[in-house]
Amino acid sequence: MRSFLVIMFPLTQFLTAAITPTDLRCEYLENPQAIGTTQPRFSWRLASTDPGARNVVQKAWEIEVIEGSSDRPGRKLWSSGKVESSASHQIEYAGEALASRDRATWRVRVWDGTGDESSWSAPATFAVGLLEPTDWKAHWISARDDGAFETTQNIQNFADDPKRGRLTVTPAKYMRTEFAASNIERATLHATALGVFNVEINGQRVSDERLAPGWSAYQRRIHSKTWDVTRLMKEGGNAIGATLCDGWYAGYVAYGLFTGQEGLVPGLEGRSYYGISPALRVQLEIERADGSVETIVSDTSWKTSTGPILETDILMGESYDARKEMPGWSSPGFDDSSWEHAVVKTGTDSRVEPHPGPPVRPVMEIPAKTVTERKPGVFVFDLGQNISGVVRLKVKGKAGDKVTIRHAEMLHKDGNLSTENLRCARAVDTYILRGDPEGETWQPEFTYHGFQYVELTGFPGKPDNGAVTGVVIHSDTPFHGSFECDDPMLNRLYQNIVWTQRANFFEMPTDCPQRDERMGWTGDAQIYVRAATFNADIASFYTKWLRDLNDDQWDYGAYPPYAPRPFSRPNEHHAAGWMDAGVICPWTIWQVYGDTRVIREHWRKMKDFMEWRAKRDPELKGAEDDCGFGDWLSIGEVKTPIPFIDLAYHAYCARLMAEMAETIGETKDAAKYRKRWREVRAKFAARYVRTDGTLKIGNQTACAMALFYGLVPDDRRAGAAEQLAGLIRDNGNLMTTGFLGTRPLLPALSENGHHDLAGTLMRQRAFPSWGYEVENGATTIWERWNSYTKEGGVHTPEMNSFSHYAFGAVCEWMMSELGGIDRAAAGFDRVKIAPRPVEGIGRAAVSTMTRHGRIACSWKIDGGDFTAEVVVPPNTTAEITLPVDGPVREGELAADDAPGILKSNGNRLVASSGTYHFRGNYQP
């Protein structure tokens, strides 16, 4: 490696400006209403008054926390004083002890590199949720009769199977109570469910969230939701109304996988894994102006009934009879004399705690692009985009008219819906009109589907495009990435990746949003997690899911193939490349967000996993007691053996464990896992790597994994890289890799002298390739490389998802290698800018948001000139490598003379924060 020529500038030479802290977050969330810890962490970013400023750094910070709100402040809980530190994230609260229900306001000010003090930030708030079992005074309540009934209905692809054709479906339960309130100062609603729910107060929803409180390992942990509902309360009479449904707790989950599962309730195959009937727990705390508190709780005084939602299920869909609507049912004065009293449900000792992640909610709407009448009375709408969500229906007709809504990701060649891939998921919604002469609008509440095409039958008259709107629903992770280049195929591919992430980051990282599965598959999650971070802020989303994963870790130490884990199938307990998510995902969250608490929280269980792995394979041969997933959906003739995969991941996880142990101060563990890494790596090389560096397993996946995970000795890497390149060239510059092999494939090529070949694979249009999907009309990433062709239609319908993000892991290469942005240190405290053009791409622009701010690189090749606009986030430095030969210029100056450049050596620079414009002679 060439050494840097150091050129130092005094700070006064840099362009600087006043800075202020912005984007204040507590536990990754903006003004959270219920955090699940009494030791919250604070974060902020720096903003400059001058957008052209460079070297925006923080030298010190001060945090103040007061009780209550800024307009009604209480006593000071914490004043940190001036702390000499550049840290602006994961700052742990160190004030007076906090407890359940505590509310606080906080602000921060900082000192810049010249010692100038900023103004105080705008105030931010947080509140502590209900943390102790004794905090809950409310009872778990349920309907006296669970209302289940059986219906024989065709489920596509299983209509001829009587057992699978019979569904046990339930209507929604409506629950209500009334109460009087006076002198209201503040009202806070805490609610949770075994199932999913929606709450209204005085006829208004308390939130736009869907399917609250989400899915968890119910036998160990149940999440709650908290809202400030003061605005909905009124002096005098008030009412609470809640709608309760089965959800993941009692509804259908992974229905198509139920064969052979252990411990099923007879007659309820595919559902009710956690319990048969849902239950609700609601606690409204009303603070009065005189300081007193009144608590309204769910108990047997509440009344319950059924209503217009005749049946609802996440997989099967929802049926709604508008004629059965109950106007005013969640408002005071409603006549509920015919309703029954609720009953108290017992039997759960699970911990109840605030939900730590982003809510599931509607995030956008997509109008239908076209409507076609396939045959009389059958209308097919095309949204133009595959999504997760529901349809909003607009219709006018007479009372009793029934509109049936079916969903599909693809059409058959004859134009009819292709629903075979849904398997046992019925995915049908129905709406029965009340006959409003002004027209009616409806969308389902407690289900969701994966679809691009919508079929309406029973619609009165002929609908226009406006009859159907796609409502996109998913976990509301803030999206912040961008990719654009001069190849339209790659631009569409990037959009497909983002849309697939949207559809599958739905309370957990699911495999698919449409069929009877929708599980948090761990292999898919670990493959894609780094790519996901480029596109969205997933820190709190993964905080939640990693708790699911560790809650459902097997007692013997392995992590399961999916989490939450509602059931156990024989011979499907653990799998190499899947169970390793328990180590790879926390490591990735630390690397991207600088989060060490996530490591400490799960450290014991990660160690349990690694100890089980060591005992299971004492000779380091690679274990075979595995589910056998392997390199899932690879298409090469030479398959990658399970022991090879297992040993490779064993080594890789040992390396990551050593790094994590070091950062949390577990020095003995760090030494132990470094030793394990060396031992497993040596055994792997002895077993699988020849003296010339070639792999004894002669396929692309084996070579890519060995190189990417650092398992080939340094002096033999060139041989393995050439073998990988040869395998690709001999296959016509086409891939053969599956889920596990595709993620490391392009990075392994680029890191080992074959970046040009990586670019060829990236831009390939022939089967199998990303371009092949785009050329065949994909708007999301497919589960299979050949899920659909324009000539042949839908392929392998029994297992064929058109929204499956695993192969979208290539986004990581698109952003970090082609675009050239990445971290150079954990948490992006140092960043890397190193664009690497490939043949056929003349320009590219990428960006993402780090915890310090936006990082971006926009480059262009024009003849022999290379230009790049680079954005380095505040409070960081960038290690920049440009593909140029000869001197680099920044604006009108030589790079050596440019403000903000800290070091330079030819095409390699170190720069402070700011926006730079580089140019030089392009050198491939």
With bands split at pLDDT 50, 70 and 90, how would you rate the model's confidence at 799? confident
As a whole number of angstroms, the distance between CA 600 and CA 606 comes to 10
As a whole number of angstroms, the distance between CA 615 and CA 317 comes to 46
Neighbouring residues of 480: CB distance < 8 A, sequence distance ≥ 6: 535, 536, 537, 848, 849, 854
List residues bridging with 862 in a β-sheet: 865
Rounded-to-10 torsion of CA 492, 505, 511, 515: -90
As a whole number of angstroms, the distance between CA 12 and CA 48 comes to 16
More confident residue, 210 or 73: 210
Query: Using alpha carbons only, what angle is made at residue 692 by residues 689 and 693, rounded to the nearest 5 degrees?
Result: 40
Q: Which residues of 10-34 are buried (b: 16+ CB within 10 A; e: fewer)?
A: eeeebebeebbbebbbbbbbeebbb
Neighbouring residues of 207: CB distance < 8 A, sequence distance ≥ 6: 199, 225, 227, 359, 361
Provide mean pLDDT across the span 866-879. Answer: 98
pLDDT in tens, 594-645: 999 999 999 999 999 999 999 999 999 999 999 999 999 999 889 999 999 9
Distances in Å between the Cα of 791 and the Cα atoms of 31, 248, 775, 776, 777 are 52, 39, 12, 9, 12
Residue 644, sorted as left (phi over 0), alpha (psi -120 to 50) or beta, turns out to be alpha
Instruction: Say if CB 24 and CB 124 are below 8 A apart.
Output: yes
Burial class (CB in 10 A: 0-12, 13-18, 19+), 361: middle
Average pLDDT, the chain: 93
Count CA atoms within 13 Å of residue 650 on its CB side: 30
Picking from 71-75, 538-542, 881-885, which range would have the lowest pLDDT averaged per residue? 71-75
Reading across the β-sheet that carries 340-341, which strands appear in turn? Answer: 204-205, 196-201, 236-245, 173-181, 303-305, 340-341
Reading the block at residue 607, the tokens are 């160690």
Picking from 161-175, 747-761, 810-824, 880-894, which range would have the lowest pLDDT averaged per residue? 161-175
Intra-chain end-to-end CA distance of the chain, in Å: 19
3-class SS of residue 448: coil
3-class SS of residue 389: strand
pLDDT in tens, 376-399: 999 999 999 999 999 999 999 999
Given the residues 64, 440, 517, 817, select the one marked as catalytic. 517
Which helix (H) or strand (E) segment holds residue 69: the answer is: none
**What confidence score (pLDDT) does residue 8 get?**
31
As a whole number of angstroms, the distance between CA 760 and CA 733 comes to 7
The residue among 691, 698, 759, 686 whose CA lies nearest residue 719 is 691
pLDDT in tens, 670-718: 999 999 999 999 999 999 999 999 999 999 999 999 999 999 999 999 9
Check whether 11 has a pLDDT greater than 60. Answer: no
**What confidence score (pLDDT) does residue 569 get?**
72
**What confidence score (pLDDT) does residue 72 get?**
80
Picking from 165-179, 363-377, 452-466, which range would have the lowest pLDDT averaged per residue? 165-179
Identity of the amino acid at 364: M
Neighbouring residues of 729: CB distance < 8 A, sequence distance ≥ 6: 757
Instruction: Say if CB 400 and CB 462 are below 8 A apart.
Output: no
**What confidence score (pLDDT) does residue 17 get?**
58
Check whether 260 has a pLDDT greater than 60. Answer: no
Q: What percent of the chain has pLDDT over 70?
A: 94
The residue among 244, 24, 230, 15 whose CA lies nearest residue 124 is 24
Distance of CA 347 to the CA centre of its chain: 32
pLDDT in tens, 363-377: 999 999 999 999 999
Distances in Å between the Cα of 818 and the Cα atoms of 694, 858, 913 are 27, 11, 22
Distance of CA 656 to the CA centre of its chain: 22
Rounded-to-10 torsion of CA 515, 521, 526, 528: 0
Rounded-to-10 torsion of CA 392, 397, 402, 403: -40
As a whole number of angstroms, the distance between CA 41 and CA 46 comes to 17
As a whole number of angstroms, the distance between CA 803 and CA 832 comes to 31
pLDDT in tens, 35-56: 999 999 999 999 998 888 999 9
Q: What is the pTM of this model?
A: 0.95
As a whole number of angstroms, the distance between CA 679 and CA 684 comes to 9
Check whether 770 has a pLDDT greater than 60. Answer: yes
**What confidence score (pLDDT) does residue 256 get?**
55
Q: What is the CA radius of gyration of the chain?
A: 29
Reading the block at residue 371, the tokens are 């409507």
As a whole number of angstroms, the distance between CA 469 and CA 88 comes to 42
Helix 717-730 to helix 739-751 angle, to the nearest 10 degrees? 120
DSSP per residue, 817-870: III-EEESSGGGSEEEE-----TT--EEEEEEE-SSSEEEEEEEEETTEEEEEE
Check whether 4 has a pLDDT greater than 90. Answer: no
Given the residues 420, 773, 783, 879, select the one marked as catalytic. 783
Instruction: Say if CB 501 and CB 483 are below 8 A apart.
Output: no
HEC per residue, 599-644? HHHHHHHHHHHHHHHHHHCCCCCCCCCCCCCCCCCCCCCCCCCHHH
As a whole number of angstroms, the distance between CA 296 and CA 562 comes to 38
Check whether 832 has a pLDDT greater than 80. Answer: yes
Instruction: Say if CB 225 and CB 209 are below 8 A apart.
Output: yes
Check whether 442 has a pLDDT greater than 90. Answer: yes
Reading the block at residue 408, the tokens are 């599909």
As a whole number of angstroms, the distance between CA 293 and CA 901 comes to 60
**What backbone torsions phi and psi does residue 682 show, to the nearest 5 degrees?**
-65, -45
Catalytic status, residue 890 = no
Distance of CA 881 to the CA centre of its chain: 31
With bands split at pLDDT 50, 70 and 90, how would you rate the model's confidence at 234? very high
Catalytic status, residue 783 = yes
**What confidence score (pLDDT) does residue 10 get?**
33
Instruction: Say if CB 878 and CB 910 are below 8 A apart.
Output: yes
Instruction: Say if CB 565 and CB 521 are below 8 A apart.
Output: no
Provide mean pLDDT across the span 469-475. Answer: 98
Check whether 287 has a pLDDT greater than 60. Answer: yes
Instruction: Say if CB 656 and CB 587 are below 8 A apart.
Output: yes
Provide mean pLDDT across the span 340-346. Answer: 93
With bands split at pLDDT 50, 70 and 90, how would you rate the model's confidence at 572? confident
Report the residue count for the chain: 924
Instruction: Centre a 10 Å sphere on the Cβ of residue 664 and count the other Cβ atoms it contains.
Output: 15
Provide mean pLDDT across the span 499-503. Answer: 98
Instruction: Say if CB 91 and CB 64 are below 8 A apart.
Output: no
* Cis amide bond preceding 123, omega within 30: no
Neighbouring residues of 743: CB distance < 8 A, sequence distance ≥ 6: 527, 528, 708, 806, 809, 810, 812
Identity of the amino acid at 542: Y
**What confidence score (pLDDT) does residue 570 get?**
67
Q: Any idea what DSSP says for residue 758? A: H
As a whole number of angstroms, the distance between CA 123 and CA 65 comes to 10
As a whole number of angstroms, the distance between CA 83 and CA 69 comes to 24
As a whole number of angstroms, the distance between CA 160 and CA 761 comes to 43
Check whether 151 has a pLDDT greater than 90. Answer: no
Provide mean pLDDT across the span 819-844. Answer: 98
Identity of the amino acid at 662: E
Q: Any idea what DSSP says for residue 583? A: H
**What confidence score (pLDDT) does residue 158 get?**
39
HEC per residue, 286-331? EEECCCCEEEEECCCCCEEECCCEEEEECCCEEEEEHHHCCCCCCC
Check whether 653 has a pLDDT greater than 60. Answer: yes
Neighbouring residues of 889: CB distance < 8 A, sequence distance ≥ 6: 895, 918, 919, 920
Instruction: Say if CB 369 and CB 466 are below 8 A apart.
Output: no
